[in-house]
């Protein structure tokens, strides 16, 4: 009986290397967003002991000319650790380290959108805003078929916030994908449960609207709403920052305001 190429791969071989003893050493994988604004880069640093907090992690650098973030003549850029997590792939005590990127002059890199997002979030910390990012995807095998499919066929009070969003539609469309809206223009056609990219709309239980209000929320007049405009390759920092600026800081117009630290 024929099997897919995925089924023939031996995952035990990789696991054998992952389980090699590493003594007291700890591998810290530094992760950052590159110059495309949507791809992740990473490299691993070996530490002599397990870091207990973000302060235990040293700054690092990388070649920005290889990641579309600098010229080769002045390529070093800084990696600033900002969050640390247990590594689910290489297991304890190894760590995943999320980093901000600074340029050679220690100014924020163009695709480091976390910097301004944190500034905005700190300004509204008393509001305790909550976000849930949903991304749908399909797992494919090496043969291009979705996992589980046969290889030779197919198986059988939010009104005020929404009002503000309606007046700032173009700004949010630009913020909701790394290409300034051009990626979303291909998706937000008004068909297939999407809204038209050029028109703002909101509705209860309406999956064809820009903003969907769950039916229970509409009945109770309180709760959460779903912004259906962000693209699958959006930067969550850019999206959440735009929502806070419009809904809680009462910004208007097509450009974000600048605030003093």
Indicate the pLDDT class of residue 1, thresholds 50, 70 and 90: very low
Q: How is residue 196 annotated by DSSP? A: B
Chain centroid to CA 254: how far? 23
Distance between CA 189 and CA 206 in Å, rounded?
15
> In this structure, is residue 85 part of a structural domain?
yes
Indicate the pLDDT class of residue 7, thresholds 50, 70 and 90: very low
Distance between CA 89 and CA 15 in Å, rounded?
10
Same-domain status, 162 and 107: no
Same-domain status, 98 and 202: no
**Residue range(s) defining the domain that contains residue 81:** 22-112
pTM value?
Answer: 0.72
Report the b/e string of 103-139 with b at 16+ CB within 10 A: beeeeebebbbbbbbeebbeeeeeeeeeeeeeeeeee
Q: What value does the mean pLDDT of the chain take?
A: 87
Domain end position, chosen among 77, 112, 147: 112
- Report pLDDT digits (tens) over 70-101: 998 999 999 999 999 999 989 999 999 999 99
Q: Please give the residue that has the higher pLDDT: either 153 or 198.
A: 198
Beta bridge partners of 26: 47
pLDDT of 2 > 60? The answer is: no
Radius of gyration of the chain (CA): 22
For residue 97, give the CATH number of its domain. Answer: 3.10.20.70
pLDDT of 3 > 50? The answer is: no
State the pLDDT at residue 194: 67
What mean pLDDT is predicted for residues 180-199?
A: 71
Tokens 């605030």 correspond to what residue?
259
Distance between CA 79 and CA 62 in Å, rounded?
7
Q: Answer for the pair 85, 29: CB distance below 8 angstroms, yes or no.
A: no
Same-domain status, 241 and 118: yes
Q: Which two tokens stand for residue 103?
A: 């340029």
Report the b/e string of 191-215 with b at 16+ CB within 10 A: eeebbebeebbbeeeeeebbbbbee
Number of domains comprising the chain: 2
């Amino acid at each position: 009986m024929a099997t897919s190429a995925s089924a023939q791969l031996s995952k035990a071989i990789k696991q054998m290397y992952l389980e090699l003893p590493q003594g007291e050493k700890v591998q810290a994988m530094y992760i950052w967003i590159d110059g495309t604004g949507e791809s992740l880069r990473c490299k691993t640093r070996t530490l002599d002991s397990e870091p207990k907090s973000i302060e235990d992690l040293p700054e690092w650098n990388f070649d920005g000319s290889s990641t579309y973030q600098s010229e080769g003549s002045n390529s070093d850029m800084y990696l600033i650790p900002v969050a640390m997590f247990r590594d689910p792939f290489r297991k304890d005590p190894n760590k995943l380290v999320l980093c901000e990127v600074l340029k050679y002059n220690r100014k924020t890199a163009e695709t480091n959108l976390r910097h301004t997002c944190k500034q905005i979030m700190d300004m509204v910390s008393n509001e305790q805003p909550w976000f849930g990012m949903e991304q749908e995807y399909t797992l494919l095998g090496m043969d291009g078929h979705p996992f589980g499919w046969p290889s030779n066929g197919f198986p059988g009070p939010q009104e005020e916030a929404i009002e503000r969003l309606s007046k700032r539609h173009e700004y949010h469309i630009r913020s909701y994908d790394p290409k300034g809206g051009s990626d979303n223009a291909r998706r937000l056609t008004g068909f297939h449960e999407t809204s038209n990219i050029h028109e703002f709309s909101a509705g209860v239980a309406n999956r064809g609207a820009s903003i969907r209000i769950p039916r229970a929320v509409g009945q109770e007049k309180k709760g959460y709403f779903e912004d259906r405009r962000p693209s699958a390759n959006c930067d969550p920092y850019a999206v959440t920052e735009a929502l806070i600026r419009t809904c809680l800081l009462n910004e208007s117009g097509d450009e974000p305001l600048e605030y003093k630290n």
